[in-house]
Amino acid sequence: MLATLLAGSGCVAQPIGVNPTPRGWFAARGMDLTDIVSIRVALGPGLLAHARITRFIALGAGELGSVAATRPGFTLDHYQFGWIKREGGLWTERRVELGVSTLYLFEAEGESLAGDRATFGPRARRPLDIGVDLHLALIGVAAEVRVDEVFDFLAGLVGADPQVDDAEGMPISTPFEGGAADE
């Protein structure tokens, strides 16, 4: 019965004009597995600590890519290198964030240097992500486990695709794009 429910949850209509090529079962499971964990290393000015167990239990404060690091004729940018949802890349980022749980304020901007980052900072976090960011002075690390991707991987074992990402040519965008008042 569970297999029937999971298989049925993967039935989603394809957008008009998209004709994706199905991946093999093993390739799709491998891609789903890489979606689960995101890891980044940051170099540049900043002081930030943030931990979350979903969007509803979160605590954080700090700033990355400080304006104080910019002087006439000299700029010390904040660079991040890492892997997020099938996408490796290098980008610059400036971010300020402060909050507890759903009362979270942030401002983030960035520029993709390699890869295709469309969102930066807390806006790229999804509601069920479990993660930690820690940046002290000039070096930082961040890691997340995406719970919805764990479910997608497990459902894929029985042929379902809740994230609709198992075919080549499918967009890899995150289903959640939070606003400035959301974390």
Distances (CA, A) of 87 to 6, 28, 92, 130: 26, 15, 15, 19
Left (φ > 0), alpha (ψ -120 to 50) or beta: where does 32 sit?
alpha
- Do the domain assignments include residue 12? no
What is the tens place of the pLDDT at every residue in 165-183?
Answer: 887 655 444 443 444 444 4
Pairing status of strand 79-83 against strand 74-75: unpaired
Task: Round to whole Å and give the CA distance between 88 and 32.
Answer: 15
Residue whose structure tokens are 């290098």: 90
CA within 13 Å, CB half, 54: 5
**75 part of a folded domain:** yes
- Domain presence at residue 160: no
Is residue 24 a part of any domain in this protein? no
Only one residue has tokens 């790229």, namely 124
The pTM for the full model equals: 0.71
Q: What type of residue is 64?
A: L
Is 172 within a domain? no
Query: Is 8 inside a domain boundary?
Result: no
Predicted confidence at residue 69, as pLDDT, reads 60
- Give the residue numbers spanning the domain of 103: 37-147
Predicted local confidence at residue 67, as pLDDT: 59
pLDDT at position 76 is: 79
Mean pLDDT, range 92-110, rounded to an integer = 90
* Most confident range, picked from 37-46, 105-114, 164-173: 37-46
Question: Quick check: helix, strand or coil at residue 134?
Answer: strand
Q: Could you give the number of structural domains in the chain?
A: 1
Query: What pLDDT score was predicted for residue 117?
Result: 75
Residue 179 lies in a domain: no
Residue 9 in any domain: the answer is no
Could you report the per-residue pLDDT of 11-27, keeping only the tens digit for each?
444 444 444 556 788 88
